[in-house]
Amino acid sequence: MNESLDIYVSRCINCGFCDAVCPTLEAADFRGYFGARGRVNLAKELIKNDIGEEEVLDSFNSCLHCNACLYVCPAGISAGEISEKLKLRSSKKDPLAKFIAENIMKYKDPLNIGKGSTLWSKGLKFNEQSEYLFYTARMYQLMPYNSAVAKMREKLGEGLLKKFSPTFSKLGFKGSLLKIFLEREKVEEFNNILLNIYKVLAESGVELRYLGEEEPYSGAMLLEFGFEKEFTSYANWLVNFFKSKNIKKIVTIDPHTYTLLKYQIKDYVNFPFEVIFYLDLVNKKANFSGTVTIHQACHLERYGEKYRKYYDILSDVRIINPIHFNERTFCCGGPDEVLFPNLTNKISEKRFIELKSTEADYIITMCPICYINLKKDEKVIDISQFIAKF
């Protein structure tokens, strides 16, 4: 956005094209302020005022930032960008979002999972002199814990969980406290995906450096939840941390971290590192005689340059496109999974049905958030698993 927010929103002509593609509108039972056009209209009303009511803030917090609206808007407006700006302006924050933000600032990890982030790497060989830093940003590792938070929310109730969030922050929160809600099978499943990514790169002749327990989270959720001041501070810390480790090239393995470090972070700090998505280093082509359909991550399709290296890897495989694909891909509901799990469930179910209707042998994902939301049967597979298998 290269103009003031009031001028930006004033360009809206209320045509409603954005609502036709907004995933959250239908999932929220067509409540207007939970759709793209509703968010723009709400921004017009609030442009000169602080956001006070939690229901109003929920409208912007529930935005997936999938940017589907931008691709159909004749005025070139992104309701996601507007939502981001309004969240940054707001003095009121969701208690659970605030709790997560405080964890990131304090522990460099949204849920302080500690050693749980490194279990996947046990026994693997890394090269401390490698030019490539294997940066998981703890994303795949966090997914089972995110699910545990959702289960805890269901057990305690949303109000009680939000009520106790400030207490958790004061006492110090550790991911181990979620043990009773944590599914060990999911922990093992996501650790195996990380192992597959490592193996695929190793088979491509890529030696990697890994920081182990020192590896910090990227800070993405600080921006997603509207903590701009904290993100700026964190981003500066992250730059200095990478410099202290003499890092030059960062190999990311999920779309959210990739687009954050390659595009978004540069609006806040000078980020002097080469950012690579791991598939760029894979020199293997999958060999499979069946069919696949691909769930393309919003962040790879609608942030910066379109990323489609996976088409090269799957060039010998027959791909059946779902109704929504390429830049028209439909969001998995992922960014809402912590604050609005009911919305996420409805959106992910709709997308899963679209993908399943192709009748392809496999549904391929390439994002940990997409994977956990769409993993509704055994046909869903991370692209690293598919490459390793075929």
Do 129 and 195 belong together in one domain? Answer: yes
Q: Domain boundary at 73, 89, 105, which?
A: 89
Do 240 and 130 belong together in one domain? Answer: yes
Q: What is the pLDDT of residue 116?
A: 87
Continuous segment of H or E residues that includes residue 194: helix 184-203
Continuous segment of H or E residues that includes residue 360: none
> Would you state the structure tokens that stand for residue 304, as one six-digit string?
């910066």
Do 305 and 267 belong together in one domain? Answer: no
Q: Which of 309, 310, 308 is nearest to 386 (CA)?
A: 310
Q: Which of 318, 296, 268, 286 is nearest to 370 (CA)?
A: 296
Do 208 and 316 belong together in one domain? Answer: no
**Cα separation of 86 and 204, whole Å?**
44
Cβ neighbourhood burial of 128 (10 Å; 0-12, 13-18, 19+): exposed
Do 267 and 166 belong together in one domain? Answer: yes
**Cα separation of 313 and 281, whole Å?**
11
Total residue count of the chain as it appears in this document? 390
Q: What is the pLDDT of residue 183?
A: 87
pLDDT tens-place string over residues 123-134: 999 999 999 999
CA distances to 119, 266, 333, 347 from 83, in Å: 37, 20, 16, 19
Q: What is the pLDDT of residue 87?
A: 80
Residues 6+ apart with CB under 8 A from 361: 288, 290, 291, 292, 379
Q: Domain boundary at 69, 89, 109, which?
A: 89
**Cα separation of 137 and 276, whole Å?**
13
Q: What is the pLDDT of residue 156?
A: 67
Do 335 and 261 belong together in one domain? Answer: no
Q: Which of 65, 93, 98, 79 is nearest to 255 (CA)?
A: 65
Do 306 and 240 belong together in one domain? Answer: no
Do 181 and 245 belong together in one domain? Answer: yes
CA distances to 231, 271, 298, 310, 389 from 264, in Å: 11, 10, 15, 22, 34
DSSP states of 296-320: --HHHHHSSS---THHHHTTTSEE-
**Cα separation of 12 and 73, whole Å?**
9
User: What's the number of CA atoms in the CB half-sphere (13 Å) around residue 343?
Assistant: 26
Q: Which of 379, 326, 88 is nearest to 227 (CA)?
A: 88
What's the number of domains the chain is made of?
3
Do 42 and 127 belong together in one domain? Answer: no
Q: Domain boundary at 213, 246, 279, which?
A: 279
The strand pair at 318-319 and 274-277 is best described as unpaired
Do 311 and 349 belong together in one domain? Answer: yes
Is there a contact between 5 and 43 (Cβ–Cβ < 8 Å)? yes
In which residue ranges of the chain is pLDDT below 70?
1-3, 48-55, 91-92, 156-177
Supply the CATH number for residue 322's domain.
Answer: 3.40.50
Q: What is the pLDDT of residue 168?
A: 56
> Would you state the structure tokens that stand for residue 387, as one six-digit string?
């490459």
Task: Quote the domain boundaries for residue 256.
Answer: 95-279
Q: Which of 148, 126, 158, 16 is nearest to 79 (CA)?
A: 16
pLDDT tens-place string over residues 83-104: 888 887 776 677 788 889 999 9
Q: What is the pLDDT of residue 173?
A: 59
Q: Which of 385, 390, 389, 10 is nearest to 195 (CA)?
A: 385
> What 8-state DSSP symbol labels residue 99?
H
**Cα separation of 148 and 135, whole Å?**
24
Q: What is the pLDDT of residue 95?
A: 79
Do 255 and 145 belong together in one domain? Answer: yes
Do 146 and 227 belong together in one domain? Answer: yes
